Each structure stands twice: as C-alpha cells, then as structure tokens.
Amino acid sequence: MNTKHEGPEFYATFLQDGKPVANGRTFNKGKAIEAIKYWIQNKTLEELYSQFGFIDEKKRQLEKLRSDINASNTQLLEIAQNEVSEENFSYYSLCFKDDNRSCEVSYYGYETNPRYIFNWDDSVIFETSGSDTKRLGSLVKKWVCNKATLSTLKMEFTGIDFGKLAEYYEQGRGIEGEFILSWDNIESFYREMNLDKKNEILQLIKEMRDKGFDSTLRAGQSLYTFILSRSRRHGLRENQDSVSFSFVSSNSAMEVQTQNGQYFIFDKIEYNNTIENILKTIELESID
C-alpha cells in the first residue's frame, strides 16, 4: 500500500478513447511519470496494474476483499447488491445489501484497514475496522443475510461497539431511537462548547426532553444554533418546517425563529409557552 507521505501527492487519470479507465495517487513523482509513459506506450490496463500498485489501489483492494469475503460466505452471492462501485472522484466502496440491511466497506484516507459500516433502513447502526477478513466477513453475512439480533452478535463478536441504535430498531422504534440519540449528541455538543450560556442552554434542552420532544423531533445544530425538525435524516431540505434557537446575540439571550417566518426575542434562556406551542405544531408534521 502507498503509505509513505512525504511532499506533494501526484494524481493521474488514465484514459482510453477519451474516457477514464483508471486513476491513482502517489507521493512518488518518479513512479507517477513512469506509469504515464507506460500507459502512452499502449500497454494494457492489466499490464499497468502489474507494474504500479498505486493505480486503482483502493478499488483493487476492495475487489480482493470482496472475493475473499464471498469465498468464505457464499450466501452473500445471492443477495440484492454485492459490488464495488465508484462513489465520486475515485472514491470506491464495497456494498453488501439485502432488504433493509447493508454493510459498506471502504478505505478512509491513508488508513491501513478498511472500515465496515453497518446500516439498517439506510441508517448507520454501528461501524468497525480491522484486518481479520474472515471474522468481519462472517459478521457481514450474519448482519445482512441472517438478520442476526444484536444480542447474538454481541456474544460472538466481542470487542465491537454496537452502539445503542440497533436496540431501537429491533424493537420497531428505529426512527424514535434516531431522534433520541440526536438529542444525546446535541447535549454532548453544548457541554463541550466554551459558552457563557452553556448551563442555561443545557437546562432548556433538558426541559424539552422532559416534555418528551426528544422522541418526536430530531435535534441538530449549525455552528452554535440549535435546530429542531421532523427530518428523517440529518440535514434539512429547502423550506422544511423547523425551529432554530440562537444564543449568540449581544442584544438578547435567545432568539427563536421558525421556517415559516415566526421570530421571537427573549431576554432569558428558558422553556416557555411560546416555545412549547411551536414544538407541538412542528410535532404534528409528518416525518420526512
């Protein structure tokens, strides 16, 4: 693997009939030039691969990984999706998917071992990384094909942090679990911030949670702004109903604004009837 990182990195795309067929990155300038010369001498892609390990390096590693996992877990050959694909700008991922479960495998940056990201209904449930292809391939099969329960996986695959979300999905409360965990994350975010108003903000969030809004609304943030919505995923689409709480103005303690144009200024950060009415209104929106 190309892991020596010194000086500039050279990126080359190799074209055939005007269309890109391979690419590669290397810190070795000489190897980059040599590969280009080799290609324009009308060498085949296979010949290029045999001489230069950095060409399509991640793609080839994932193809080898796919082959090894399939060989030990032939049940994966029958699933809906089992392939290496290019996501964007020479970033490749290996995806195993069947019904509502999937696992995406990819290399991040210059990490030696691939990351395995396990999804349920397109939501990330847990992830792990490692070099033990046989063990992780078995985990992929049991997750994707066998729809194994979390309790079963925990007993066999010790040392992996399966997180909290899978338990909600197993109980049929997946979206609720995503919402609740989003509030956990927002609390952690504000605890780590060096803000004079931190304690008041955390108390506001606590009171909202005590009212049960953490199971019906998604919590998020943009810079220091606290945002609530009925968004199925993180990130709001244009004009999606939401409410934002800003705490950084020098003229007020808290400013509250809804997507439909309501705007309120408060001299204290505290839960009140105005906020409750806004949240109850958004709560009636469909999850989208």
Of 33-37, 83-87, 131-135, the least confident: 83-87
What is the DSSP code string of 157-197? STT---TTHHHHHHTT-HHHHHHHHHHHHHHHHHHHS--TT
Q: Average pLDDT, stretch 113-125?
A: 95
The pTM of the full predicted model, rounded to 2 decimals, is 0.85
Q: Look at residue 136 and tell me whether its pLDDT is greater than 90.
A: yes
Instruction: Report the pLDDT value the prediction gives residue 195, as an integer from 0 to 100.
Output: 86
Does residue 251 surpass a pLDDT of 90?
A: no
pLDDT at 93: 96
Burial class (CB in 10 A: 0-12, 13-18, 19+), 225: middle
> Could you tell me what percent of the chain has a pLDDT over 70?
98
Residues in the chain: 288
* Mean pLDDT along residues 256-273: 95
DSSP string for residues in 24-47: EEES-HHHHHHHHHHHHTT--HHH
Give the angle 200-278-202 at the CA atoms, nearest 5°. Answer: 15
Weakest-pLDDT range from 3-17, 106-120, 202-216: 3-17
**At 236, is the pLDDT very low, low, confident or very high (cuts 50, 70, 90)?**
confident
Contact (CB, 8 A) for 81 and 66 = no
Q: Which residues contact 277 (CB under 8 A, 6 or more apart)?
A: none
Residue 163's Cβ-side half-sphere holds a number of Cα atoms within 13 Å equal to: 19
Does residue 107 register a pLDDT over 80? yes
Banded model confidence at residue 278, pLDDT cuts 50, 70, 90: very high
Give the tens place of pLDDT for each residue, 206-233: 999 999 999 999 999 998 899 999 999 8
The mean per-residue pLDDT over the stretch 156-184 comes to 94
For residue 1, pLDDT beyond 70: no
Radius of gyration (Cα) for the chain, nearest Å?
25
The kind and range of the H/E element at 235 are none
The pLDDT of 243-263, averaged and rounded, is 92
Q: Is the confidence at residue 29, as pLDDT, over 90?
A: yes
